[in-house]
Structure 1
Amino acid sequence: MSKLMAGTYVELEVARKVEFGYFLTDGYEDILLHIAEMKTDELTIGEKLEVYLYHDHQNRLSATMHRAALVYGEASWLRVIDINPRLGVFLDQELRRDLLLPYSELPEERSEWPRLGDHLFVELTHDKQGRMLAKMARTEFLTADFTPGTEELKNQSLVGTVYKQFPDGAFLITGEGYLLFLPHSEMASPVRLGQELKVRVTYIREDGRMNASTKPLKHDAMDMDSEKIVEYMQGRGGSMPYSDKTSPDIIMEKFQLSKAAFKRALGKLMKEKRAYQEEGWTYLKEKE
């Protein structure tokens, strides 16, 4: 009984030649090797050939002599080459047939879906008809040989790719093999699957995995918030009808800052004698 399965390399025997290629066999089932999937002009009847099995555009199990980017039982990074809102995203497996990652494997929020050109860490599975599908790869594929983080990395910047998302955050891996967890509370803005991010290491766990943040350190954030307020006042002629007594809702609406962050930024400006407050208004001081 034939046990041929898409997504695997198998050795088959060349059974016969036809106008559009060759039929290969395992003794139970014949598989077409189309001319377009050959890397040589001629094959010899009876010779053994290693090929990769996949389903062609007519959903027939077919063979190719070209190397695939993903094999069943392994995991790899594949590039997003098309997005279908009803089906999911299509990945480049370096064959004539692209690989579907179904929408059921993607985040519920469309804003968290990958974009064209992003790379996703996936493994192969099959639908009920035995056709290849992608699914998000299990973390075990990464943890087997990841690079443990060390204390020297704390507060250092790293670049990682989001390979998995969970309700409480996202997991990233860097080119060096470091594994990072980015909690939602440490995201400066929402992230998407497959997104490449610059993050800051905040904590190194005993097992070498690390926590990360995309938010700046408090003193850096205070500098940016202060300059945001200065730019706002400069655009209004040097003043604004807001102070540390203004309601949090108005501050959030005008500056996208929390009341605490707004007060810290204002306090910094006044300490540096760049601003002052009077009767509920804040003014920029003129340079002497």
Structure 2
Amino acid sequence: MLQIGKFNHLEVVNQVPFGFYLDGGDMGQVLLPTNTVPQGCKVGDMLDVFIYHDSDDRIIATTKNPKAQVDQCAFLKVISITKVGAFLDWGLEKDLLVPFSEQDYPMAEGMSYVVYLFCDEETNRIAASTRLRDFLPEVATEFEPKQAVNLLICGRTDMGYKAVVNGSYLGLVFKDEIFKPIKIGYKLPGFIKRIREDGKIDLCFQFHDKEARGSLAEQIIEDLLAHGGLSTLTDKSPAEEISQRFNVSKAAYKKAIGGLFKQKRILLDKNKITLVENKG
């Protein structure tokens, strides 16, 4: 069965002056216009094509890659606002509609938003929505703490940032887990921090457990050795400087150097850290 809004593997069945027709099964033949026909194409070939509706609402095929398919999320730019909604650039000739009813708040021309692509059941047309919670669950049981995941930052709240997890769920990164600037639309690697009792997903970019602190501590020692046993990067330093050098939060850095101090491997004062092994 032909899948609207996704790539389909279809047979070329007829050549016409303006392109080729492909076998769309129950939906009949589907036109692949000349401007996207691969070189050397002929009747009998099998092609991977994306299926959507053109500006005249006809089902059409293309070999171009859209920026997202149905059932996926993407960060897309609004190129126009009309009486029916906002239209987004998704890499195809016909722009992608976000109806007003699918907008959490009014979208603005020139701005970009994370949207979810879906196929309307009544019209069979592709549309998008900023109402991600209507399509992606916030409750999950399939993840484990420390599991690596892919994140798409999709919104900001008073507690932190919302993120799409592996393209399928919504989770939250709390403010205290953010150690470098992030923005809506960023794609970042992350981890499952925990699954709460209500099933909601807490996310993080790093761990503050004993194992992680031990690894960071050794990085700090190596950095001290590389700089003659001295560093001006203390627990009083700006978080941005700490993140730039070690890619960790200020809180994680403070815990690591605190552990090194207790082990008597370093000396601390307001302006510098000194490696004990290098003293004497």
TM-score normalized with structure 2 length: 0.52
- Residues in 1 aligned to 2:270 and 2:154: alpha-carbon distance in whole angstroms: 51
The Cα shift of 1:259 comes to 6.9
Question: Could you say which residue in structure 2 is the equivalent of 1:285?
Answer: 276
**Stretch of structure 1 that moved more, 157-166 or 250-259:** 250-259
Q: Deviations over 1:47-97 (max 9, x none)?
A: x958787344xxxx15235499xxxxx9522677xx7696696325xxx62
Question: Could you say which residue in structure 1 is the equivalent of 2:195?
Answer: 203
Question: Residues 1-288 of structure 1 correspond to what in structure 2 (within 5 A)?
Answer: 35-36=18-19, 38-39=21-22, 54-56=53-55, 61-66=56-61, 75-77=70-72, 90-91=89-90, 97-100=93-96, 104=107, 121-123=116-118, 134-136=128-130, 138-143=132-137, 148-149=140-141, 153-162=143-152, 164-167=154-157, 168-174=160-166, 177-189=168-180, 190=182, 192-193=184-185, 195=187, 197-206=189-198, 208-240=199-231, 248=236, 250=237, 252=239, 255-256=242-243, 261-277=252-268, 282-286=273-277
Secondary structure at the aligned position of 1:156 is classed as: coil
The Cα shift of 1:280 comes to 6.7
Q: Deviations over 1:215-270 (max 9, x none)?
A: 312434533543443244223311246767xxx2x454653477765543233223
- Equivalent AA in structure 2 for residue 212 of structure 1: L
- Equivalent AA in structure 2 for residue 54 of structure 1: H
Secondary structure at the aligned position of 1:185 is classed as: helix
Contact kept, 8 Å, 2:165 with 2:171, in 1: the verdict is: yes
Question: Could you say which residue in structure 2 is the equivalent of 1:4?
Answer: none
- Residues in 2 aligned to 1:65 and 1:279: alpha-carbon distance in whole angstroms: 67
Contact kept, 8 Å, 2:53 with 2:60, in 1: the verdict is: no
Question: Could you say which residue in structure 2 is the equivalent of 1:71?
Answer: none
Secondary structure at the aligned position of 2:228 is classed as: coil
Contact kept, 8 Å, 2:116 with 2:128, in 1: the verdict is: no
Contact kept, 8 Å, 1:75 with 1:122, in 2: the verdict is: yes
Q: Sequence identity of aligned pairs in percent? A: 16
TM-score normalized with structure 1 length: 0.51
Secondary structure at the aligned position of 1:162 is classed as: strand
Structure 1, unmatched stretches of 5+, are: 1-6, 9-19, 22-33, 41-47, 69-73, 115-119, 126-130
- Residues in 1 aligned to 2:212 and 2:110: alpha-carbon distance in whole angstroms: 30
The Cα shift of 1:157 comes to 0.9
Contact kept, 8 Å, 2:116 with 2:135, in 1: the verdict is: no
- Residues in 2 aligned to 1:260 and 1:158: alpha-carbon distance in whole angstroms: 21
The Cα shift of 1:196 comes to 5.2
Q: Deviations over 1:105-131 (max 9, x none)?
A: 7996x7xx78xxxxx632479xxxxx9
Question: Are the structure 2 counterparts of residues 266 and 84 from structure 1 closer, same or farther at C-alpha, using a change threshold of 3 Å?
Answer: closer
The Cα shift of 1:204 comes to 2.3
Superposition RMSD in Å: 5.0
Contact kept, 8 Å, 1:75 with 1:124, in 2: the verdict is: yes
- Residues in 2 aligned to 1:178 and 1:84: alpha-carbon distance in whole angstroms: 22
Contact kept, 8 Å, 1:239 with 1:284, in 2: the verdict is: yes
Structure 2, unmatched stretches of 5+, are: 6-14, 31-50, 64-68, 81-86, 99-105
